Structure 1
Amino acid sequence: MNGESTVVLDPLDWAILEELQQDARLSYAELARRVALSPSAVTERVRRLEELGVITGYHAAVDPARVGLGLQAIVRLKYPGTAHQPLRRLIADRPEILQCHRVTGDECYVIRLATRDVAHLEQVVDELARLGSLTTNVVYSTLVPRRAISRPSTGE
Structure 2
Amino acid sequence: MDDVDRILVSSLVQDARMSLKALARASGLSSPSVSERLRRLEEKGVITGYTTTVDPQALGYGLQAIVRIRPLPGQLHNVERQIQAIPQFTECDKITGEDCFVARLSARSMAELDGILDTLADRAQTNTAIVKSTPVARRLPPLPER
Give TM-score, length-normalised by structure 2: 0.92
> Would the aligned equivalents of 1:74 and 1:110 in 2 still touch at CA under 8 Å?
yes
> Would the aligned equivalents of 2:64 and 2:105 in 1 still touch at CA under 8 Å?
yes
**Paired residue for 1:109, among 96, 101, 108?**
101
- Report the counterpart of residue 3 of structure 1 in structure 2: none
Structure 1 consecutive aligned stretches of length 4 or more whose deviation exceeds 6 Å: none
CA distance, structure 1, for counterparts of residue 48 and residue 63 of structure 2 = 28
- Report the counterpart of residue 29 of structure 1 in structure 2: 21
- Report the counterpart of residue 80 of structure 2 in structure 1: 88
Q: Percent identity?
A: 42
Residue 85 of structure 1 and its aligned partner are, at CA, apart by 3.0
> Would the aligned equivalents of 2:66 and 2:129 in 1 still touch at CA under 8 Å?
yes
> Would the aligned equivalents of 1:22 and 1:148 in 2 still touch at CA under 8 Å?
no
**Paired residue for 1:148, among 137, 140, 145?**
140
Q: CA RMSD in A?
A: 1.6
- Report the counterpart of residue 4 of structure 1 in structure 2: none
Match of 1:105, SS? coil
**Paired residue for 2:10, among 1, 4, 18?**
18
Q: Write out per-residue CA displacement over residues 23-60 of structure 1, whole angstroms, 9 at most, x where no aligned residue.
A: 01011111110111111111001011111111111111
Match of 1:119, SS? helix
Give TM-score, length-normalised by structure 1: 0.86
- The unaligned stretches of length 5 or more in structure 2 are none
Aligned residues, how many? 146
- The unaligned stretches of length 5 or more in structure 1 are 1-8
> Would the aligned equivalents of 1:14 and 1:150 in 2 still touch at CA under 8 Å?
no
